[in-house]
Structure 1
Amino acid sequence: MSSSTSNNPPKFEVKATDWDRTAASYAQLASQGSPMSVPITKLVEMLQTVSPFDKATTILDVGCGPGSATSQLISTHHDIIPSNTQLLATDFSRGMVSIVSQVRDFKLGSLQDGTEKSTWSRVVPLVMDAQDLHPLLDDFVSHIIANFVLFMTDDPPKALKEAHRVLKSGGVFALSSWHRMDWMDYLVIAASHAFPTIGKPTPQMPEFPAQWASVDGVRELLRDAGFKDVQLEFVGAPIVMPKVEASVHAFLNSGNPAVTWITDVLEGNEVEEVEKQLVKVVKEKCEVNDKGAHILNGTAILAICRN
């Protein structure tokens, strides 16, 4: 995230309990389609291209959230994943890990016997911090995916070192970060309009480490952690809002750390003023597709590398 309100915005800091708080709404957003769906699809295909899953021994989903990457991986490649391959879905949020467990149990109860069901039976949800992947052993994992997570850790270089430690020699690591998010820029604008009306000082939007927002920065971070054969690309990751008012209301009331820097300092009726302003900004600035939905653009950086 970035903000134009100050040269020294606060650092983006998030605790496991913050994600516990928003786990249910976050999972609902993911199930309906979110800006993360395109990057997840691309990351899974990048892993398959560089190191096909038919050679996978252990696949690690770091910062798995509600399990979107694991779900995408299984739905598209269950027929080639070896029958003894284990899939680890890890997150430091117990709420998120609980949702993955629920998804796994639902799949096992609803799928017919076959490779997809068998693969879900080998998914192991674990509460684990990306900065400390113990008790996973060194050189243990063949494939790692980390979607929009490592730049939010307290110590991203430490998290990268941990990924490097557990990845086998020749193993592959795919990850993503944000380059630009129009929805966050629009939220800053909405806050700058709403807070003077409310009579409270406008808060500053927290900022992610700037290095994660550039291709050169991500390449340097990966190389410093010991990874090689680094490949990077941009991909569009928009939010599609069929009904702006409903989408904005759900976003601002989700408990997502992306919005709580605003909502946690407001009362309920004050949040409504931010909603009104954000709806106005979205309708003024966004393109509308042929179905009448407003498009909030975003751009992600995707990276894949080897140990």
Structure 2
Amino acid sequence: MSTTSATKHVNFKVGANDWNKTSANYAANVSRTPMSIPITRLIELLDSHSSLSSATSILDIGCGPGSATSQIISSHHATLPTTTQLLATDFSSGMVGAVSQARASKLNELSLGTEKEAWARVTPLVMDAMNLAPLLDNSTSHIIANFVFFMVEDPAKALKETYRVLKPHGVGACSSWSRLQWMESLAIAASRTFPKLNKPTPEMPTVSPSWTSCEGVSEQLKTAGFKEIHTEYVEAPIVMPDVEQFAHFFLTSGNPAVTWITDILDEQEVKEVEKELVQVVRENCEKNDEGAYVLAGTAVVAIGRK
């Protein structure tokens, strides 16, 4: 999403270079984003539908900095078979590099035990979700794809590849966004700022409607061949004790969620959007019991069986 053409942002398609540019920042700040929140539920669904204690291989598609792989190891290392393969794949070499660094750090930090042994079996690979070659047909028992499929060029092709590499009766879990109030707020801030800058307001990138509801995601999985499909909504908000700090972090993150704006503005113009975003949040967002503003986020999580 680094192109300056607004029309190319409408369908929220993100390229490998977009993630490469923000991979280091993303890896360092992933705990401050809501992207990791649905992972807990996805792992629960994988384990309840097909116990991770029986996993022969676990594939993390669109792994980013390795959040799902890390959480699986953290929560299940004691029960994972010692022969379980863990593959962390992403089409961004920057993200795969972040996983490699995380693996090296864990192997250096951890003492002997099942957690260290699990990290030793992690294999980071640059791989496109739409082309999982050289992975063999019917080779993987568990697959997790957190916020991936709705952003690829051909989601149906990615799901077909996911289905192909799953073993018979294997399970695949994925997530998408139903609502992103931080994107909505940024769009409002842009609509107020760009006219003042005498520039046309770009269109906000959007998630395809087929991925924003439980019904839509369920239909996508069904079309790909999955059975025993389960979908649900999970709340994944951003909590902001300091609105100004959040707005600055968000607008300077290089994340594709903001580059549709920041790539076509200079530094001072971005600061103007940042100021407006603070105002929009204060006008439209509720506070929690601790007085922090909350930007609503709702994810769709889903699982299906081959």
Structure 1 position 83, deviation (Å): 0.3
Matched, 1:125 2:124: yes
Q: Normalized against structure 1, the TM-score is what?
A: 0.96
Deviations 1:111-168 (A, max 9, x none): 1110000000000000000000000000000000000011100000000000000000
Q: Structure 1: how far apart are the matches of 2:35 and 2:270?
A: 25
> 3-state SS of the aligned residue for 2:199?
coil
> 3-state SS of the aligned residue for 1:145?
strand
**What runs of 5+ residues in structure 2 fail to find an aligned partner?**
1-5
Q: Structure 1: how far apart are the matches of 2:118 and 2:131?
A: 26
The amino acid that maps onto 2:24 is A
Q: Structure 1: how far apart are the matches of 2:41 and 2:227?
A: 20
Structure 1 position 199, deviation (Å): 1.4
Matched, 1:282 2:281: yes
Structure 1 position 208, deviation (Å): 2.2
Deviations 1:81-115 (A, max 9, x none): 00010100000000000000000000000011100
Matched, 1:204 2:203: yes
> 3-state SS of the aligned residue for 1:42?
helix
| Correspondence for 1:143 | 142
Q: Structure 2: how far apart are the matches of 1:38 and 1:208?
A: 19
| Correspondence for 1:24 | 24
| 2:129 and 2:161 in contact (8 A); partners too | yes
Distance 1:244-1:167 versus aligned 2 partners, 3 A rule:
same
Structure 1 segments, 4+ long, off by >4 Å, are 6-9
| Correspondence for 1:294 | 293
The amino acid that maps onto 2:75 is T
The amino acid that maps onto 1:12 is F
Deviations 1:218-269 (A, max 9, x none): 1111011010000000010001112111111111111111110000010000
The amino acid that maps onto 2:25 is S
Q: Normalized against structure 2, the TM-score is what?
A: 0.96
Bigger drift between 160-169 and 195-204 goes to: 195-204
> 3-state SS of the aligned residue for 2:233?
strand
Q: How many residues align?
A: 301
| Correspondence for 1:55 | 54
**What runs of 5+ residues in structure 1 fail to find an aligned partner?**
1-5
| Correspondence for 1:172 | 171
Matched, 1:10 2:10: yes
The amino acid that maps onto 1:272 is K
Give 1:109-258 correspondences, 5 Å limit: 109-258=108-257
Give the % identical residues.
59
Structure 1 position 8, deviation (Å): 11
Structure 1 position 11, deviation (Å): 2.2
> 3-state SS of the aligned residue for 1:151?
helix
| Correspondence for 2:266 | 267
| RMSD of Structure 2 on Structure 1 (CA) | 1.5
Deviations 1:286-305 (A, max 9, x none): 11123222110110001011
Q: Structure 2: how far apart are the matches of 1:10 and 1:233?
A: 26
| Correspondence for 1:3 | none
Bigger drift between 54-63 and 279-288 goes to: 279-288
Distance 1:62-1:244 versus aligned 2 partners, 3 A rule:
same
Q: Structure 2: how far apart are the matches of 1:65 and 1:38?
A: 14
The amino acid that maps onto 2:292 is A
> 3-state SS of the aligned residue for 2:34?
coil
Distance 1:9-1:17 versus aligned 2 partners, 3 A rule:
closer
> 3-state SS of the aligned residue for 2:11?
coil
| 2:7 and 2:203 in contact (8 A); partners too | no
Structure 1 position 13, deviation (Å): 2.1
